[in-house]
Structure 1
Amino acid sequence: MDIVRQIERIGVWSERMEDESRGGGDRSSRDLAALIAASVRRERDRAGLSLTELAKRAGIAKSTLSQLESGVGNPSVETLWGLGAALGVPFSRLVDPPRPNVRVIRAGEGPVTYAEKADYAATLLSSCPPGARRDIYRIVVQPGEPRISEPHMSGTTEHVTLATGRALVGPNQEAVEIGPGDYVAYPGDVPHIFKALEPDTVAVMVMEHI
């Protein structure tokens, strides 16, 4: 199926594509398309596959893959899963941008992909690097004395998604304020802080050890 038709079947993308055709466009949509295009080209080159061979393995049309690698449109979750399987890489490697030292994704932001039929949207917050271990915690914090943490083992990264309340989170000198639905990742091997700014602040924290 032509990739434009795939996107038109995902109602939320239709208006965005019309805007782009008029020269306006949605920047996040264009950025995601460019990111996916570069990622697929990179992984295809790494695997030594031609357009024809990759399209065949992924079960998509060669023209669809060619358009995708040109940054045209936004593929569905199913298309990306198929490409990831054909390339032997996780789905996340095709949509995860390079990470800065402290990474914040506000509620409603981030690389989103949509299913073709179901009302289903997936926002990748973070991919797990090879050889890493992740521990998951639920954090409940009240205003008052902040939690100041000493550095954990070298290579530790902390990921925090806030459920309720507001908080100041991150390295002591680079802490950011986050609200419900926001995500932040930062080095856990430097002194860092978690300070609740509202009562009953709840978060999910993932500690990643390499």
Structure 2
Amino acid sequence: MALGVPFAALVEPPVSAVQVIRAGEGPTVHSEQSSYLATLLSASPPGARRDIYAVTLEPGTVRDSDPHLPGTVEHLVVGAGRVKAGPAGESVELGPGDYMACRGDVPHTYEALEPGTRCVLIMQHV
């Protein structure tokens, strides 16, 4: 802590800038009263603001997004179809039920790989 940084932060390997949780994976909470299953995809950090968007995409064009404010994180959950999304050079292919979190303060793209692709986009601003 001499530099104001925990020792583990100095020796641990860097964490990828893109986090993916595939459909059916992740920590889950089961209900004892009904057939209800909730999977935590991302807990909101203190002081963050989140905007939620319903997104529809069609193949044939790529949505290039300029960087948002510093510290912005984008969370994407695919409802239908397939999409390739993420920061330049780190984009990943996602299918129905998949979740991705990535930096939104760098150039990033969204590209539908199937007709009728639908997603929920949560933009987290700190």
TM range (shorter): 0.7 to 0.9
Q: Residue 100 of structure 1: CA displacement?
A: 4.4
AA in 1 matched with 2:114: E
Q: Residue 117 of structure 1: CA displacement?
A: 3.3
CA distance in 1, matches of 2:35, 2:110: 35
Q: Residue 122 of structure 1: CA displacement?
A: 1.2
Q: Is 2:75 aligned against 1:181? A: no
Identity %: 54
1:160 aligned to 64, 76, 82, which one? Answer: 76
What is residue 66 of structure 2 aligned with on the other side? 150
CA RMSD of aligned residues (A): 1.1
What is residue 50 of structure 1 aligned with on the other side? none
Q: Higher relative contact order at CA 8 Å, sep ≥6: structure 1 or structure 2? A: 2
- The SS at the match of 2:42 is coil
- TM-score, normalised relative to structure 2: 0.85
CA distance in 2, matches of 1:141, 1:120: 29
CA deviation profile, 1:65-122 (whole Å, cap 9, x unmatched): xxxxxxxxxxxxxxxxxxxxxxxxxxxxxxxxxx742110111111112123322211
CA deviation profile, 1:184-205 (whole Å, cap 9, x unmatched): 0100001101000011111000
2:49 aligned to 133, 136, 139, which one? Answer: 133
The structure with the largest helix share of the pair is 1
2:24 aligned to 108, 121, 128, which one? Answer: 108
What is residue 110 of structure 2 aligned with on the other side? 194
AA in 2 matched with 1:153: L
What is residue 7 of structure 2 aligned with on the other side? none
What is residue 52 of structure 1 aligned with on the other side? none
Q: Residue 164 of structure 1: CA displacement?
A: 0.7
- Any stretches of 5+ residues in structure 2 without a counterpart? 1-14
- Alignment length, in residue pairs? 112
- TM-score, normalised relative to structure 1: 0.52
CA distance in 2, matches of 1:167, 1:100: 20
What is residue 35 of structure 2 aligned with on the other side? 119
The structure with the largest strand share of the pair is 2
CA distance in 1, matches of 2:86, 2:32: 37
